[in-house]
Structures are given as C-alpha cells and as structure tokens.
Amino acid sequence: MPHTVSIEDTGERYACSSEESLLSAMARLGRRGIPLGCRGGGCGVCKVEVLSGDFQTRAMSRDHVSDDDRACNRLLACRVYPASDLSLKVIGKLQKRVCRPATA
C-alpha cells in the first residue's frame, strides 16, 4: 500500500511504496520537489529532513550525513523508504532550485 509523502516547502504530495525510495517515487511520477543527483547516496543533493512519519534507510555517504544529521532525521531521500505517511522539507545543496521563498 502506498504512503503519502508531503514536501512542506512546496506543498507537493505524492504516493510512495515501502519498496521505493522517496526520490525514486518522486522522479518516476515526474515530480520535481526534491533535487535529483547521483541517486546512490553519495552526492548529498537530495538531502531532506523528515519532519514526521516512520521510515527505513539504506547506506548513505557519511560525507553528507553525519551522526547528528541522522539523529535529527536529516537524510538523503534516495536512501529513505517510507513505512508510513511522511512529511519532509528539502535541505540539500540545490534547495533554492525547488523551493521558492514565500511572498508576503
């Protein structure tokens, strides 16, 4: 059963199964809320902070995800697999390309 992923920065929502990474599902659906990079956990471009929900992770570069990052759920979307609905925000290197500042 797919879970709903909500990107708080853009208001975008999409479905993602437990067998698919957050980044793969987004790219497959043609969405652009999270920047795409190497897709293998090594470049850090797709870094997000999971604000709520349960998930599993796979190995990712310690150059881009420290122990403090892990403790605060700051992870690489290409290596995060949802176990429930998730809410996240983009914090990677290309954040400005997908997240436009709010206007007053």
Which pLDDT tens digit goes with each residue over 25-45? Answer: 998 888 778 888 888 888 888
Domain housing 19: 3-95
Is residue 103 domain-resident?
no
Which pLDDT tens digit goes with each residue over 67-78? Answer: 999 999 999 999
Is residue 57 domain-resident?
yes
Number of folded domains that form the chain: 1
pTM for the model stands at 0.84
Contact, 42 vs 61, CB < 8 A?
yes
- pLDDT, mean over the chain: 86
CATH number at residue 63: 3.10.20.30
Residues 52, 76, 81, CA angle at the centre, nearest 5°?
Answer: 60
Is residue 89 domain-resident?
yes
Q: Are strands 86-90 and 74-76 parallel, antiparallel or unpaired?
A: unpaired
Using left for φ > 0, alpha for ψ between -120 and 50, and beta otherwise, residue 89 falls in beta
